[in-house]
Amino acid sequence: MRKVNKFLPVLKPAISEEAIEEVENVLRSGWLATGPVTRQFEERLCEYFGGRTAMCFSSATAGLQAALMAIGVGEGDEVITTSMTFAATANVIALLGAKPVFVDIDRTTFNIDPQRILDACTSRTKAIMPVHYAGLSVDLDPIYEIAQRRNLRVIEDAAHAMGSGYKGKRIGTFGDIQVFSFHPIKNMTSGEGGCVVSNSPDVQRFLSLQRFHGIDRSIWDRFSSNATGYYDVVYPGSKSNMSDLQSALGMQQLKEVERLNAQRRGLVDRYQFAFEDMEDQISWQGIPSYDFVHSGHLFPICIADASRRDDFMQFLKENSIGSVPYYMPVHLFTYYRNTFGYGEGDLEHTEYVGKRIVCIPLYPSLENYEQDYIIDIVKKFFS
Ligand SMILES: *Cc1c(COP(=O)(O)O)cnc(C)c1O
């Protein structure tokens, strides 16, 4: 076995020479802020999402918050979501004065269980915010069915789902609103950033005001030679636009993301094959009954004996392997306990998985011999 002599992180961006060149071109162009490159990036994203409009933001978090505002979520409203997610999903709901109502996950897929959503609906429910956890698409049909029946909006937290698919369709090409993240550890990156995909002119109009000071013309129009420089403010918007510097990186990554995802899926297959005979000790996301494409964003494993998780992560660390407990259930964080009264015992399956989950290294540049080393160390711990 070839020797591994560097630390293997859990996640790592894959930046090509072409991407570096594209960023360099923008640096030399004299225009770094939002401008023609961002516009072009949004056109490419629009093509990628089957003609639906994609609007870039400084982060997925900013995009999620703007999307919630766009559909009118505010004080006293409720939004149904999952607790098996990054804190941002619930934070943006709470930040608007609304209540995140956490629905338990399916023990097999670790995704929100659509069968439990209807029971969580009240007269205050405004929206459902499912998360395509680790890149495995949520069972969307029953969710959109409930949304239609109860007149709710759906905002898919698609931070992990760039390149994911559901029943033959790419996530982002159908449905209500999807929010993707281009954070450096996600499947593609713009340094920091994200985009909101929708088909609604009302949502798009609001998003364009919210992300740039409530000004109703793009900054490029204001500064390009044929513009007057006058502008008007029609809403007290925020500042969460994406720069051309970021868009240049994002645009090149978009060209590469399908290939990078294929590499990720290849690594996932190798892990699953290697751990096949260890089902008494570890398990992972199960195969749902519907047709799907997994983006391979994370490779989360569930340690059967929860009491050994800390030792397992420590053992990996001692052997120069990174790991993270993604995710610690959001409803058990201090703010959510204190503000909404959530606590231990509220979500059986989320808490079961939350106590056992560990993500181990998965990124396109992880070499086979490095992965073999990780597999070896994992097996050593459990033997
Ligand atoms: C990363 C992440 C976000 C936030 O993305 P940013 O671009 O970092 O704001 C939101 N939801 C989930 C599930 C994430 O993993």
Is residue 287 over pLDDT 80?
Answer: yes
Q: Where residue 217 falls among pLDDT bands split at 50, 70, 90?
A: low
Residue 259: inside a domain: yes
Q: Which of 84, 86, 179 to mutate to test the pocket of ligand 1 (most atoms within 8 A of CB)?
A: 86
Is residue 87 over pLDDT 60?
Answer: yes
58 alpha carbon – ligand 1 mean position (Å):
12
Q: Among 324, 275, 270, which residue's Cα sits nearest to residue 298?
A: 324
3-state DSSP percent of the chain in helix, strand and coil, to 5: 45, 15, 40
Domain count, the chain: 1
Q: Which of 132, 157, 164, 246 to mutate to test the pocket of ligand 1 (most atoms within 8 A of CB)?
A: 157
pTM recorded for the entire structure: 0.97
Q: Where residue 230 falls among pLDDT bands split at 50, 70, 90?
A: confident
Residue 7: inside a domain: no
Q: Which of 58, 61, 241 to mutate to test the pocket of ligand 1 (most atoms within 8 A of CB)?
A: 61
CATH classification at residue 148:
3.40.640.10
Q: Among 270, 261, 241, which residue's Cα sits nearest to residue 370?
A: 270
Residue appearing with tokens 């033997």? 383
Q: What would the pLDDT profile of 332-344 be if each residue is shown by its tens digit?
A: 999 999 999 999 9
Distance CA 301, CA 244 (A): 38
341: CB partners within 8 A, 6+ apart? none
Residue 3: inside a domain: no
Question: Which entry of 12, 99, 169, 186 is annotated as an active-site residue?
Answer: 186
Residue 140: inside a domain: yes
Q: Residues lining ligand 1, judged by CB closer than 6 Å? A: 59-61, 85-86, 88-89, 131, 157, 159-160, 181, 183, 194
The residue whose C-alpha atom lies closest to atom 2 belonging to ligand 1 is 159
60 alpha carbon – ligand 1 mean position (Å):
6
277 alpha carbon – ligand 1 mean position (Å):
33
Residue 246: inside a domain: yes
Q: What value does the mean pLDDT of the chain take?
A: 96
Examine the residue annotation and report whether 186 is marked as an active-site residue of this protein. Answer: yes
Which atom of ligand 1 sits closest to the CA of residue 326? 15
Q: What would the pLDDT profile of 123-172 be if each residue is shown by its tens digit?
A: 999 999 999 999 999 999 999 999 999 999 999 999 999 999 999 999 99
Q: Given this model, what pLDDT does residue 221 score? A: 61
Q: What are phi and psi of 199, to 5 degrees?
A: -115, 5
Q: Where residue 5 falls among pLDDT bands split at 50, 70, 90?
A: confident
Residue of higher predicted confidence among 122 and 230: 122
160 alpha carbon – ligand 1 mean position (Å):
8
Residue 12: inside a domain: no
Q: Given this model, what pLDDT does residue 219 score? A: 55
Could you tell me the residue range of the domain that residue 320 belongs to?
A: 17-382
Distance CA 19, CA 40 (A): 15
134 alpha carbon – ligand 1 mean position (Å):
11
Residue 101: inside a domain: yes
Strands (E), 152-229: 153-157, 165-166, 169-170, 177-181, 194-198
Element housing 38 (H / E) = helix 36-48
